Amino acid sequence: MARMKFLCDAERCIECNGCVTACKNENEVPWGVNRRRVVTLNDGVPGERSISVACMHCSDAPCMAVCPVDCFYKTEDGVVLHDKDLCIGCGYCFYACPFGAPQFPQAGAFGLRGKMDKCTFCAGGPEKDGSVEEFTKYGSNRLAMGKLPACAEMCSTKALLAGDGDVVADIYRTRVLTRGKGSEVWGWGTAYGAPGGAGGGQPGGAAPAPAQKPQPTKS
């Protein structure tokens, strides 16, 4: 059974924001709503890392848990979607989400908060696939066209991977083994430490990849 997941390789992301632009263009996302964004840590410092963040389509999604009108559902391929006709724009999901994925258009005066909008994994929503209503409310349904999310397919360095979790994990594993580093960036060992308490479960420990030494400038 496919379970759709995103994975961003921090060793490859160059903060070009191509994924953000692709998402905006593909789904015609309005101003003020960012379904995807690039976050950079230690910006300007040697060893800085960037990561592209959107809805991670959690296996046990907290947005689904807190929604008072139960407008969220999970498709059989593991994509978390919601019904905008039911959403009341309360914002509970925004507070519950650890990734800041739910977005609220500021439509109108007095800070009026519109219905929630978020990454759909380019899977549309509860309307007829490929219909105008679906595109207007939720954006493009690329999964129904046999395609992957536009952000990942557009990524120039292939830092952002999307697809079935098993396939994505295989691609990433091949990549890490080939280049010989990067396994410490993601994974159980990094998040929770090795069973023996010795940090990362991978060779090299839980610390991120070593920062590059600044080269002396030639003038």
Partner 1 sequence: MKTRIVIAAVGAFAAFGLAGCGEKSQVAEYKQGKYQGKPDTKPWDSNPATEPYVHSTWTPGDRSSWENALKQRALNQNEYLRTNTGG
- By CB under 8 A, name the binding residues for partner 1: 2, 64-65, 67, 69-73, 75-77, 81-83, 85-86, 123-130, 141, 143-148, 152-153, 158, 161-164, 167-168, 170-171, 174-175, 177-178
Look-up of token digits 């800085």:
48
Of residues 16 and 148, the one with the C-beta less far from partner 1? 148
Of residues 30 and 147, the one with the C-beta less far from partner 1? 147
In angstroms, what is the minimal distance from the CB of 193 to partner 1?
Answer: 26
Task: Decide if 163 contacts 4 (C-beta within 8 A).
Answer: yes
Task: Decide if 219 contacts 46 (C-beta within 8 A).
Answer: no
In angstroms, what is the minimal distance from the CB of 186 to partner 1?
Answer: 16
In angstroms, what is the minimal distance from the CB of 31 to partner 1?
Answer: 26
Q: Where are the alpha helices (DSSP H) in the chain?
A: 18-27, 62-66, 92-96, 132-138, 150-154, 165-179, 188-192
In angstroms, what is the minimal distance from the CB of 38 to partner 1?
Answer: 18
C-alpha span between 8 and 55 (Å, rounded): 12
Of residues 37 and 74, the one with the C-beta less far from partner 1? 74
C-alpha span between 190 and 10 (Å, rounded): 14
